[in-house]
């Protein structure tokens, strides 16, 4: 039994303190889903250029959407010890709201481990793509609020962010 104030065991560290990839080989395949969100705040000029299609590099929201989908598929290449997963579903929504572009990624699979990292990576890449495409107009953009808001499946069941 763990003491109430003891730190939880680290699953990616072995008894000798070495990094390891968690063995999920014996876990059953279950339906998994994760939803992550984030945003990029930008100047009125940058937001207007995006919403009126006047960014020289192209359709910012469409390209950022594709970048997010691609990033979800490559999360294990970017994050050490992250399992490569067979993704069944990656959806990205981007929309202007207030002085920012909001991003939501929904990722799903039927596998032995969750897709939280894939959803978070998708949102991050989409925001970075917006930044890259609009930086000539606004270098003061701020990417913020990237977080998991829901996960479903696996042994721990469903989790929803408070609020």
Question: Which residues have C-beta within 8 Å of that of residue 126, sequence separation ≥ 6?
Answer: 38, 64, 65, 67, 68, 71, 92, 94, 103, 105
Exposure on the CB side of residue 125, measured as CA atoms within 13 A: 23
Q: Are 87 and 107 in contact (CB under 8 A)?
A: yes
How many beta carbons lie within 10 A of that of residue 149, not counting itself? 15
**Catalytic-labelled residue, pool 5, 14, 132, 138:** 132
| 114 and 138 Cβ atoms separated by less than 8 Å | no
Element (H, E) at 108: strand 100-111
DSSP string, 120-152: HHHHHHHHHHHHHHHTTT-TT-EEEEEEEEEEE
The answer to whether 29 is a known catalytic residue is no
- Active-site positions read 132
């Amino acid at each position: 039994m763990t003491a109430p104030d003891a730190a939880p065991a680290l699953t990616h560290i072995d008894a000798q303190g070495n990094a390891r990839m968690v063995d999920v080989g014996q876990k059953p395949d279950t339906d998994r889903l994760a939803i992550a969100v984030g945003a990029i705040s930008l100047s009125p000029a940058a937001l207007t250029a995006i919403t009126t299609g006047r960014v020289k590099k192209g359709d910012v929201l469409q390209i950022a959407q594709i970048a997010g989908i691609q990033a979800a598929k490559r999360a294990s290449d970017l994050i050490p010890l992250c399992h490569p997963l067979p993704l069944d579903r990656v959806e990205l929504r981007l929309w202007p709201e207030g002085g920012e572009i909001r991003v939501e990624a929904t990722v799903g699979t039927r596998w032995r481990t969750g897709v939280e990292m894939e959803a978070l990576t998708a949102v991050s890449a989409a925001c970075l793509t917006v930044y890259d495409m609009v930086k000539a107009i606004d270098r003061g953009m701020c990417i913020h609020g990237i977080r998991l808001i829901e996960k479903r499946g696996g042994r721990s069941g469903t989790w929803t962010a408070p609020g």
